Structure 1
């Protein structure tokens, strides 16, 4: 149960700080320079939250805080089906708790709006279509999960895993934010979409399916070519 509680808390914090930074910066930045600052701030918010979470709850649950990560770990043979199901449920509930807290803050403001939902087409900052968004989310999640499986596969690198994973999440957000808002995490995408409804909810399927596909491919590649004796 401690593992599931840790995943709940970790995902709640990730969603609140990550999407919350997206909400706050969207109201404070304008123009090219402002957009750059916004992208950097959001990317760092997600990355630094993972670093903090890794050292706060990593020793309890591994700090997956992401159903796609849990799927990759499960397919890599590092967790059983029971824990996989428990992790995903805890992560989804935690995501809704984080978005619920953010919704309360947004509703208490006269200027803040949105909840950091992902999107494509008119909901994408660059007008990326559905096919492009699917490829982006699949590839970014593939890279993210492949790094996680690699850096946590050996005791030699596990001590720096939190920093490496946080830096990688920052990296994928730097390119992903203008394209789709960057999901790579079905729980992070589902909760804002449900709260907002409308277009965000109609598009959320992509940000659930594509990250899971990317994570599955990463697990297959890792087990097939990159695993070692300690893995």
Structure 2
């Protein structure tokens, strides 16, 4: 249970810090403002860094179902633990989004619009208006690269003490590319939390933020198995 609780707290922190930076600092459906693209990217990446060192020794700090499924495919996690991790991650993301919603209700004139609370999306009306194909490709490829870095930095060839920093910085880079396209998911839990409260398009488009990151994570696990056979 300690592992699952750690995953819940870690995912809660990722969503609250990352989506909180986007929402509270001001990110609209027409583009990031306030903290800006770099600031929001750093919020997500640094959240991973601090949680990696905080809960990494307890649960491995997945805080992302795509990572958990990828580890399962790679044979580094048991099925029972994987299910517990994913449920805890979903719970943490939803609770964090609920807290963010309560905070935002205290802002004068706050209304829940489409893709509210930092929800992911694509198409007309969302940030740069990228197509479904662009969104799917970006989320799949960037999740693949994210997981490849995770496998490499935590392997026998990696530097374990620096792994958390490398993984967090990779997420910063991913956000710098993907925020205008999808708001950046690479994490089904991070997408689910805001969508539950935002509803509408955020909920209707949620399928892509499950399928693409999971596909990217599975592909990374299969590729990494090839490296381990060498």
Aligned length: 225
Distance apart, 1:228 and its partner CA:
6.3
More helix by share: 1
Q: What is the CA–CA distance in structure 1 between the aligned matches of 2:83 and 2:90, rounded to whole Å? A: 11
CA contact (8 A) 1:153 1:228 kept: no
After superposition, the C-alpha distances for 1:102-141 in whole angstroms (9 at most, x for unaligned) are 0110111115563000111024311101111001100110
After superposition, the C-alpha distances for 1:147-206 in whole angstroms (9 at most, x for unaligned) are 101111127511111000000000000010011100000000011111111111111111
Q: Which runs of 5+ in 1 are unaligned?
A: none
Bigger mean CA offset, 109-118 vs 4-13 = 109-118
Bigger mean CA offset, 106-115 vs 46-55 = 106-115
Residue 151 of structure 1: aligned partner: 153
TM-score for the superposition, normalised by structure 1: 0.92
Secondary structure of the residue aligned to 2:121 is: coil
Distance apart, 1:77 and its partner CA:
0.9
Residue 123 of structure 2: aligned partner: 121
Aligned counterparts, 1:88-103, within 5 A:
88-103=86-101
4+ runs of 1 displaced by more than 6 Å?
none
Aligned counterparts, 1:15-54, within 5 A:
15-26=15-26, 35=33, 37-54=35-52
How large is the Cα RMSD of the aligned pairs? 1.9
CA shift in 2, pair 1:134/1:154, >3 Å? same
Residue 182 of structure 1: aligned partner: 184
